[in-house]
Structure 1
Amino acid sequence: MLLNILTAQFNITTIKFLQQFSNPFLDKLAQAITMTAEEYFIIIFIGIVYLCIDKKLGYLMAVTLLFSSTINYFVKCIFKVKRPIGTPGVRSLRLQTADGYSFPSGHTQGAAVFWCSLMKRLKKMIVYIVGAVMIVLVALSRLYLGVHRPVDVVGGFVFGIICVIVLNRIFQYDGYKKNLIVFLFIILPMIVITVYINDSKLYKELGAIIGFVIGYNIENKYIKFNPKTSVCKNLIKVIISVSGLLIVSILFKTFLPHGHVLDLITYFCGVLWFTAGDGLIIVKLSL
């Protein structure tokens, strides 16, 4: 019954309706919009937030997005709904970001987590408006590009909202209690899912979230760098952080054997450097 709903004909009809307006300009616009919900854009934004604006917000967004991404992958593996790619009458673009299963939409879920986290934290009307518009546009872009059905983007939005609500509830606690809850209800489930599915992407996310949790707590207790400084100092922070990440990545990939464990260790060490290592240098340099 549920599978029939996920693959019902009205989903394809909706895609075809949107694609009847297709033209080169809208093709490029849809691809640009969908890129705002992709990994590199979000990583850069969270990195800037953590280093230069608000460490706590950057930490919350990173943990929420990593957990949400793992849940998205897990749900996709449960339902195993094929994408509409190749369906007669459906034109699909930007296929390099449309691998794996279709339900729920990872881009829409990521956009929902990203913008709703900002809304929850900042509580400003302009953020509510921009966020709501961007979530809708990302969802529409996935339909227009022919890589998801309406039910996929709705599912992505729902799962994204659930993750934001759960994580914000957890982050209301402080100290040891929060860390214990994060381990029991976020990291432990991610470990189980990662080992069960055994995919490189999940090992990277697991390494990253463990690195972020440990690194943030080390920085928050012992280092305590100030994210709110001048533009010039913030630029130096970003350069230090990126340089460190590149060095960690190159060293580990050069001298360690390839595999899932390497992925986990590389991302763990890279994020540990990002959250605490460069923070120590920032403090020592009085940035």
Structure 2
Amino acid sequence: MLHVGSWEQEFLAWVTSGQGPIWNALAGIFTFMGTEDFFLLVIPAVFWTVSRKTGIQLFYVLMVTLFVNIILKDGLGVARPVGVEGVHSREIESAMVDSHYPNDSFPSFHAQSAAALFGFMALAVRRRWAWWMAAVLTALVALSRLYNGLHWPTDVLGGIALGALTVVVARYAAPAMESRPIAFKAAAVGVFAALMAFFLGNVGTKVSGALLGGGLGHLLEASVTELDPKRGKLPRKVLAIVIGFVGILVLRVGLKAAFPSGPVWDWLRYVLIGFWAFGLAPIMFVRAKLLQGARTSPSDSFNPSPPAPPVD
């Protein structure tokens, strides 16, 4: 197990000494931006209504950065500052998601995932303001973990660096993957999902299921509709988001109550969530004419041309 320096303990004691109701609420908001719930809201919404390409790439970027994060957490075994003298830890349940708790502090997943998610969004937007926004949001998510007394400063700094590295790698890897045949992509998703299930323990079961379901769902959607969010109308997009989120909620919460407890059932539940978000839902949206696809025939468009007048 690795240990941290005394300066980090002193710094955290100082930061957490300023906790109060208003700051607690703000920290809760920014901590939420590094959670599974936030990702389930943002990534499918981007895929459905903003950019199909960016949405699926965000999904894979998150999967890769999560894989790296958990491998390092389990391998390094850095103890969290929870219970350390002078450090006031709160919202401890947000850290108790892995079987290796409390020896899973480095790197911070909240900081790493925020850097990867917001950084890749900025890369897709390609505007200076987007990079500034990504930097600010990532910093606020990282600071919320320090404020809550759940991570050491080196945890969040390491997480940010790894998240940024994921964006750099994705910048060059994504074009190469796009040119590969469908059979190669399906095999890659299957192998990566198997590695996650084997190496990542309890968390890996869910992530592996989401990756397999999302990856195969996306390949199905690409062959059937090839969603084109740019062609949709705003009211229909909003309705599609609502329906899509309801579907995710039913699968995530409803099936959890309906299925027996156990890793196999968790895996199956997340397979279905991923398959719905990136496969069945967009196909259904196009079929219901809420959204449009690149493979949509002219007769399926939202604004079909009026019939030609009869010729006398």
Give the TM-score normalised by structure 2.
0.82
Q: Tell me, what secondary structure is at the counterpart of 2:2?
A: helix
Q: Tell me, what secondary structure is at the counterpart of 2:175?
A: coil
In structure 1, the partner of 2:212 is 210
Q: Alpha-carbon deviations, 1:31-55, whole Å to 9, x = none?
A: 2222222221222011211111111
> Shift of residue 245 of structure 1?
3.1
Matches within 5 A, 1:1-287: 3-4=2-3, 7-99=4-96, 100=101, 101-173=104-176, 174-176=178-180, 180=184, 183-184=187-188, 188-199=191-202, 201-228=203-230, 229-249=232-252, 252-253=255-256, 256-287=259-290
Q: 1:207 and 1:115 mapped to 2: Cα distance?
A: 24
> Shift of residue 255 of structure 1?
6.3
The structure whose residues are more often helix, as a share, is 1
Q: Is the 8 A contact 1:204 1:267 kept in 2?
A: yes
Q: Which runs of 5+ in 2 are unaligned?
A: 291-312
Q: Is the 8 A contact 2:224 2:283 kept in 1?
A: no
Q: 1:210 and 1:257 mapped to 2: Cα distance?
A: 21
Larger radius of gyration: 2
Q: 2:174 and 2:163 mapped to 1: Cα distance?
A: 16
Give the aligned residue type for 2:83: G
Q: Sort the Cα spacing of 1:108 and 1:164 in 2 relative to 1 into closer, same or farther, 3 A.
A: same
Q: Sort the Cα spacing of 1:167 and 1:232 in 2 relative to 1 into closer, same or farther, 3 A.
A: same
Q: Is the 8 A contact 2:71 2:199 kept in 1?
A: no
Q: Alpha-carbon deviations, 1:46-97, whole Å to 9, x = none?
A: 1211111111111011111122112211211111111101111110111111
In structure 1, the partner of 2:308 is none
> Shift of residue 182 of structure 1?
8.1
Q: Sort the Cα spacing of 1:119 and 1:195 in 2 relative to 1 into closer, same or farther, 3 A.
A: same
Q: Is the 8 A contact 2:193 2:212 kept in 1?
A: no
Give the TM-score normalised by structure 1.
0.89
Q: Which runs of 5+ in 1 are unaligned?
A: none
Q: Is the 8 A contact 1:84 1:90 kept in 2?
A: yes
> Shift of residue 205 of structure 1?
0.8
Aligned length: 282
Q: 1:202 and 1:219 mapped to 2: Cα distance?
A: 25
Q: Is the 8 A contact 1:171 1:178 kept in 2?
A: no
RMSD, aligned CA: 2.3
Q: Is the 8 A contact 1:223 1:276 kept in 2?
A: no
Q: Tell me, what secondary structure is at the counterpart of 2:79?
A: coil
In structure 1, the partner of 2:300 is none
Q: 1:137 and 1:80 mapped to 2: Cα distance?
A: 25
Q: 2:94 and 2:83 mapped to 1: Cα distance?
A: 15
Q: Sort the Cα spacing of 1:261 and 1:150 in 2 relative to 1 into closer, same or farther, 3 A.
A: same
Q: Tell me, what secondary structure is at the counterpart of 2:34?
A: coil
Q: Is the 8 A contact 1:219 1:279 kept in 2?
A: yes
> Shift of residue 248 of structure 1?
4.1
